[in-house]
């Protein structure tokens, strides 16, 4: 049982606060660290991996400090986001080197290569590998010493769907074996498919934590904003506001459009075309104005 404790951790670079007073506990199983790009996920993972000192707060693995403690790497496997990995070596040479650095031998390396199903290409130079193959060899290098904590920074970036599925299967297996697996991602669907537990980080702050269904509900239940243009904006506005699925409508004269805030997403999307047809109004534009991930996340922060 390995538990990673992040206790009131902040990190700033000059005047910029990258991670702001985050406290979380990562236990066995697969945990997804979700957040938009630039939210501070990599900074947080760097601190979890002992590559960056927290400005304040502590990161401990089963009570042991992670920062400035080389011996902690006996228990941690790291899959970095960056691609670079001694491209002049073959996959096997690379994993063997990683095993040796842990004081292990070729046998451990072979076992790790088998786990990620890379034996078939192990004697090819890494420079000839595809993105997915590189990712798997990185995984093998992280698994070679059988670590109890696995940290992966954006492991699915740039992978094709098949590679993604294979890696997800592998991570699920690792989690089921009782390892503590933490991976970061900015894509909700990825996290949802893989992690039972989600930690959401937005703008350096810990926005939400818990079961993915709860977070998914928070995300779909949030007020949605739409920009609508029609043949008769005022008549449409009057008809829509009568329904409880709509909480506010603004007539934007400059844009010549309605800005609608809907509280019940499902009901509103069914209501709008029906109301328009019933009143003989032509819909010219219907566009969601806050579907960006950032706005979804910032809603979560407020929630």
| Residue 182 lies near other proteins (rule: CB under 8 A) | no
Q: Are 224 and 240 in contact (CB under 8 A)?
A: no
Cite the beta strand spans of the chain per DSSP E.
Answer: 4-13, 16-26, 29-34, 56-61, 64-65, 76-79, 149-152, 180-185, 197-202, 205-211, 224-230, 246-252, 257-262, 283-288
CB of 153 to other proteins, least distance (A): 7
Q: Interacting stretch for other proteins, rule CB under 8 A, among 64-72, 108-116, 161-169, 270-278?
A: 64-72
Q: Are 132 and 159 in contact (CB under 8 A)?
A: yes
| Residue 153 lies near other proteins (rule: CB under 8 A) | yes
| Residue 78 lies near other proteins (rule: CB under 8 A) | yes
SS3 content of the chain, % helix, strand, coil (to 5): 40, 30, 30
Q: Interacting stretch for other proteins, rule CB under 8 A, among 93-101, 111-119, 165-173, 278-286?
A: 93-101
CB of 270 to other proteins, least distance (A): 40
State the DSSP code for 127.
Answer: G
| Residue 14 lies near other proteins (rule: CB under 8 A) | no
Number of residues lying near other proteins (CB under 8 A): 35
| Residue 76 lies near other proteins (rule: CB under 8 A) | yes
| Residue 86 lies near other proteins (rule: CB under 8 A) | yes
Dist. CA 273–CA 269, nearest whole Å:
8
Q: Interacting stretch for other proteins, rule CB under 8 A, among 95-103, 213-221, 244-252, 255-263?
A: 95-103
The residue (of 126 and 271) whose beta carbon lies closer to other proteins is 126
Q: What dihedral do alpha carbons 189, 194, 196, 199 form, nearest 10°?
A: -60
Rule CB under 8 A: choose which of 4, 6, 34, 52 binds other proteins. 52
The residue (of 26 and 142) whose beta carbon lies closer to other proteins is 142
Say which residue the tokens 């566009």 belong to: 287
- Contact characters 122-151, other proteins, x per CB under 8 A: -------------------x----------
| Residue 110 lies near other proteins (rule: CB under 8 A) | no
CA distances from 223 to 37, 63, 156, 261 (A): 23, 42, 30, 6
Rule CB under 8 A: choose which of 8, 74, 213, 277 binds other proteins. 74
What is the 3-class SS of 194-218, one letter each residue? HCCEEEEEECCEEEEEEEHHHHHHH
Dist. CA 190–CA 237, nearest whole Å:
38
**Distance, CA of 168 to chain centre:** 13
Dist. CA 37–CA 215, nearest whole Å:
19
| Residue 88 lies near other proteins (rule: CB under 8 A) | yes
Rule CB under 8 A: choose which of 1, 16, 63, 82 binds other proteins. 82
| Residue 73 lies near other proteins (rule: CB under 8 A) | yes
Interacting residue ranges for other proteins, rule: CB under 8 A: 37-38, 41-43, 46, 49, 51-53, 68, 70-74, 76-78, 80-82, 84-86, 88-89, 97-98, 100-103, 141, 153
């Amino acid at each position: 049982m390995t538990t990673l404790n992040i206790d009131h951790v902040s990190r700033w670079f000059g005047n910029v606060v990258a991670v702001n007073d985050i406290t979380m506990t990562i236990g066995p199983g697969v945990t997804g660290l979700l957040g938009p790009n630039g939210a501070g996920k990599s900074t947080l993972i760097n601190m979890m991996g002992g590559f960056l000192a927290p400005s304040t707060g502590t990161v401990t693995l089963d009570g042991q400090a992670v920062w400035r403690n080389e011996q902690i790497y006996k228990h941690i496997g790291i899959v970095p986001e960056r691609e670079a990995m001694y491209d002049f070596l073959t996959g096997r040479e690379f994993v063997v080197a990683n095993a040796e650095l842990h004081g292990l031998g070729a046998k451990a390396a072979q076992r790790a290569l088998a786990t990620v199903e890379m034996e078939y290409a192990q004697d090819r130079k890494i420079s000839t590998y595809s993105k997915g193959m590189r990712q798997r060899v990185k995984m093998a290098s992280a698994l070679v010493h059988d670590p109890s904590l696995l940290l992966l920074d954006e492991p699915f970036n740039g992978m094709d769907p098949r590679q993604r599925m294979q890696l997800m299967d592998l991570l699920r297996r690792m989690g089921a074996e009782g390892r503590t697996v933490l991976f970061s991602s900015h894509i909700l669907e990825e996290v949802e498919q893989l992690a039972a537990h989600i930690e959401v980080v937005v703008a350096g702050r810990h926005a939400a934590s818990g079961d993915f269904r709860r977070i998914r509900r928070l995300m779909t239940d949030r007020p949605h904003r739409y920009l609508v243009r029609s043949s008769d904006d005022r008549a449409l506005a009057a008809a829509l506001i009568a329904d409880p699925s709509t909480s506010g409508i603004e007539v934007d004269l400059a844009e010549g459009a309605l800005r609608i805030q809907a509280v019940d997403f499902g009901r509103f999307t069914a209501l709008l075309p029906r109301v328009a047809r019933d009143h003989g109004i032509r819909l010219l534009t219907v566009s969601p104005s806050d579907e960006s991930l950032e706005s979804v996340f910032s809603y979560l922060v407020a929630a």
